[in-house]
Amino acid sequence: MEAHGVTMGRSRFSRCRPNVRSKCCQNTLENTEQYPSVVVPTSLSSFLPGGQSAAKRMARERRRRAADAGPRAQEKGLLRSFAMKRTERPGATAASSSSWDLGRICGVLALASGALGCAAFAYGLYARWWLAARTVTLHPAPRLLGPNASGPGLSPDLFWGSYRPQVYFGMKTRSPRSLVTGLMWMHQLEGDIRLRHTCEQSDGLPRYGWLLHDGVHFGVQELRDVGLSLQTEFVKRPGGRHGGDWSWRVTARPERSGPQAPFVSLLFYVATDGQGALQPQVKEKSRMASLTGVTEELGHFTITFQPPTSETGTPLYASYNYLDAKAEGLHRLSDVVKASLAPRFSFAPPGAPKRRYFGVDTYRIAPGGVQPRSQLLIHQVTVSLPCRLEVVFESGSFSERTERLAGEALTGALDRHAAAFERRFEETFGLAAKGYSLQEQRFARAALSNMLGGMGYFFGRSLVQSPHAEQPQLYPEGPLFTAVPSRSFFPRGFLWDEGFHQLLVARWDPALSREVLAHWLDLMNAEGWIPREQILGDEARTKVPSEFLVQHSSAGNPPTLFLTLRQLLAQGQADGNFLRSIFPRLQSWYDWYNQTQTGPLPYTFRWRGRDQDTRLFLNPKTLTSGLDDYPRASHPSPDERHLDLRCWMAVVSAVMADVAARIEAPAEEYRRMAETLADNQLLDQHHWAEALGTFADYGNHTSAVALERERLRPPPPGQPLPSPRLLRIVRKPPALQFVGGALGYVSLFPLLLELLHPNSPRLGNLLADMRSEKKLWTPFGLRSLSRSSPFYLKHNTEHDPPYWRGPIWLNINYLAVRALHHYGQLEGPYREQASALYRQLRANLIGNVFRQYQESGYIWEQYNDSTGRGQGCYPFTGWSALVVLMMAEEY
B/e letters for 576-606, b = 16+ CB within 10 Å, e = fewer, are eebbebbbbbbbbbbbbbbbbbbbbeebbbb
- Strand bridging mode 463-465 / 550-552: parallel
What is the rounded average pLDDT of the residues 106-115?
74
Percent of the chain that is helix, strand, coil (3-state, to 5) = 35, 20, 45
Among the listed residues 101, 628, 675, 890, the single catalytic one is: 628
Residue pLDDT, tens place only, 651-671: 999 999 999 999 999 999 999
pLDDT for res 502? 98
Q: What is the reported pTM? A: 0.86
Percentage of the chain modeled with pLDDT above 70: 87
Residue pLDDT, tens place only, 685-721: 999 999 999 999 999 999 999 999 988 888 888 888 8
CA distance 864 to 518: 36
- Examine the pLDDT at 74 and tell me if it is beyond 60: no
Among 4-13, 350-359, 490-499, 789-798, which stretch is predicted with the lowest mean pLDDT? Answer: 4-13
* 480 bridge partner residues: 458
Annotation says 855 is catalytic: no
**CA 495 from centroid of its chain's CA atoms:** 4
373: in domain: yes
Q: 689 or 57: whose pLDDT is higher?
A: 689
* 473 bridge partner residues: 464
pLDDT for res 2? 39
Residue pLDDT, tens place only, 831-867: 999 999 999 999 999 999 999 999 999 999 999 999 9
621: in domain: no
Domain range holding 197? 166-431
228: in domain: yes
Residue pLDDT, tens place only, 456-501: 999 999 999 999 999 999 999 999 999 999 999 999 999 999 999 9
pLDDT for res 98? 54
Q: What is the CA radius of gyration of the chain?
A: 32
Q: Which CATH number is 403's domain given?
A: 2.70.98.110
Annotation says 628 is catalytic: yes
Residue pLDDT, tens place only, 247-285: 999 999 998 765 666 789 999 999 999 899 999 999 988
Give the mean pLDDT of the chain: 88
Residue pLDDT, tens place only, 168-197: 999 999 999 999 999 999 987 766 678 999
Nearest to 845 by CA among 791, 779, 774: 779
772: in domain: no
Nearest to 804 by CA among 824, 782, 819, 837: 782
Any long-range contacts for 26-30 (C-beta under 8 Å, 24+ apart)? 27/116, 27/120, 28/120, 28/123, 28/124, 30/120
293: in domain: yes
501: in domain: no
127: in domain: no
- 340 Cβ contact list (under 8 Å, min separation 6): 323, 325, 360, 361, 362, 363
Q: Count of CB atoms within 10 A of residue 8's CB?
A: 16
pLDDT for res 193? 77
Q: 400 or 25: whose pLDDT is higher?
A: 400
CA distance 272 to 264: 26
CA distance 833 to 760: 14
- Examine the pLDDT at 782 and tell me if it is beyond 60: yes
- Examine the pLDDT at 158 and tell me if it is beyond 60: yes
343: in domain: yes
The number of C-alpha atoms within 13 Å of 50 and in the hemisphere containing its C-beta is 7
Among the listed residues 297, 497, 861, 865, the single catalytic one is: 861
Percentage of the chain modeled with pLDDT above 90: 75
Residue pLDDT, tens place only, 311-364: 999 999 999 999 999 999 999 999 999 999 999 999 999 988 898 999 999 887
* 551 bridge partner residues: 464
- Examine the pLDDT at 292 and tell me if it is beyond 80: yes
Q: Count of CB atoms within 10 A of residue 642's CB?
A: 27
Residue pLDDT, tens place only, 546-574: 888 999 999 999 999 999 999 999 999 99
Among 114-128, 151-165, 272-286, 724-738, which stretch is predicted with the lowest mean pLDDT? Answer: 114-128
pLDDT for res 261? 65
Count of domains observed in the chain: 1
Query: Please, which pLDDT band fits residue 39 given cuts at 50, 70 and 90?
Result: very low
DSSP SS3 for 295: strand
